[in-house]
Amino acid sequence: MISYLFLLRRTLWLQKCCAAWIACALLAGCWDSKEIDTLSIIQGVAIDTDQQDMLELTYQHLIAQKSRRNMYSNVTTLDKDSIQSASREQAKQVSRAPLYSFIRLILISDEAIQKRRIDQLLDTFTRSYKPSRKSLVMIIKGNAKEALNKIGKHQEIPSIDLEALAKNSDLNSKIPSRITLGEISTHISQGADFLVQYIETDGGNHFSGAALISGKTKKFAYKLDEEDVSGINWLLGKTKDSIIKTEMSKSNQSMVFDVEDVHTKLIPHMNGQDLSFTVRIKADTKLNESTVNSVDFLKESFIQTAKEAVQDEIKQTVSQSLNTLQKNMRADVVGFGTKVKVNYPAYWDRVKENWQDTFSQIPIDVKAKVQIKRTGAYSKEEGE
């Protein structure tokens, strides 16, 4: 009996020792951890090509410090025949180990993406570096590395400033929606055309329309201006919080409306073997600014005239963009093909291989319905 109790106590003691040892091992932290002040965190990457068509890689480093106040950034540029070679070449210039897991954005020059496929340029970022699939991608006019040397208006590090600038697509319909590394991977796998935000660097980094990437060639195919981008955003239903400006042709007076809400539907129709579409756009707006004089903003006649002016402006903008998409670009970046695939799968099977040709000939009718929720005016009774 005594020996049994002794063995029991010994077993319990050994179990406690093992538990304590395991707890200490787990609380000791990561075995492969590194001190933050020994790292160089890559924030942005710019991809260019030189005169010999060699890749020119530019990296923006955030030099981490234990005190955030002491953090700073620098830029290194290397010429190599592959992105991996350039990244390894940094070891000759940068003493701190580069960390690629926190890349905010990847900038590609329009010249580089006319020469090389976008899936080839981004391959190592999805295959080897494993940054977040939310890393942004932009196309730069001219040299992409110039964008990493332009300090933002608020004195931000260029990579951080450009990332924040991309979010302004929610406020201005002339800015295309930002696109991430993960979204581009999806478009590439589907063989779909898509748009990428386009940046110019003269006078500081700023948006200048969008770049079309061909789903077939995977290269830069067309440059869209801001008006075309605005119409595409209306087609996508992504113009909430943007503005619409209308002008009175007879008086040269204008009104500016804020878009409070918008809903867009792409409706396919089949008449025998003839395909057509109706685009229905519904928008709620409010009058934010007006140079129109001697008008009672509460009168139904004014509200009706203003609604018609806004509707005409939307239809004109969208129709212009559709003409560019169908006749000039011959590219469906809005999703008309997806609607056909869902609603008329048999027809889609016949045209999907030559959808660009079919899309370029489809009649598309644009209808806009606008509600003006507020004009900012009030009656005498309300003002008293």
Which residue is it, tokens 């990428």? 196
Same domain? For 99 and 153 the reply is yes
Domain boundary at 168, 194, 224, which? 224
Pairing of strands 220-224, 206-213: antiparallel
pLDDT band at 137 (very low <50, low <70, confident <90, very high): very high
Of the ranges 88-97, 116-125, 127-136, the best mean pLDDT one: 116-125
Pairing of strands 39-49, 97-99: parallel
Q: Where are the alpha helices (DSSP H) in the chain?
A: 2-27, 83-89, 110-115, 118-124, 158-166, 181-190, 226-236, 300-323, 336-343, 345-351, 355-359, 380-383
Q: What residues have CB less than 8 Å from 89, skipping those under 6 apart?
A: 78, 80
Same domain? For 211 and 256 the reply is no
Same domain? For 255 and 371 the reply is yes
Same domain? For 269 and 184 the reply is no
Residue 25 pLDDT > 70:
no
- CATH number at 337 reads 3.30.300.210
Same domain? For 155 and 253 the reply is no
Residue 37 pLDDT > 60:
no
SS3 245: strand
Residue 110 pLDDT > 50:
yes
CA atoms 338, 214, 196, 118: torsion sign: positive
Q: Which domain holds residue 247?
A: 228-383
Domain boundary at 224, 259, 276, which? 224
pTM: predicted TM-score of the whole model, two decimal places = 0.81
pLDDT at 70: 43
**Residue 28 maps to a domain:** no
Same domain? For 300 and 210 the reply is no
Same domain? For 51 and 103 the reply is yes
pLDDT in tens, 340-357: 999 999 999 999 999 999
For residues 300-311, average pLDDT: 86
Q: What residues have CB less than 8 Å from 280, skipping those under 6 apart?
A: 264, 265, 267, 367, 369
Nearest to 86 by CA among 72, 73, 100: 100
Among the residue ranges 71-85, 126-140, 155-169, 193-207, the one predicted with the least confidence is 71-85
- How many domains does the chain fold into? 2
pLDDT band at 69 (very low <50, low <70, confident <90, very high): very low
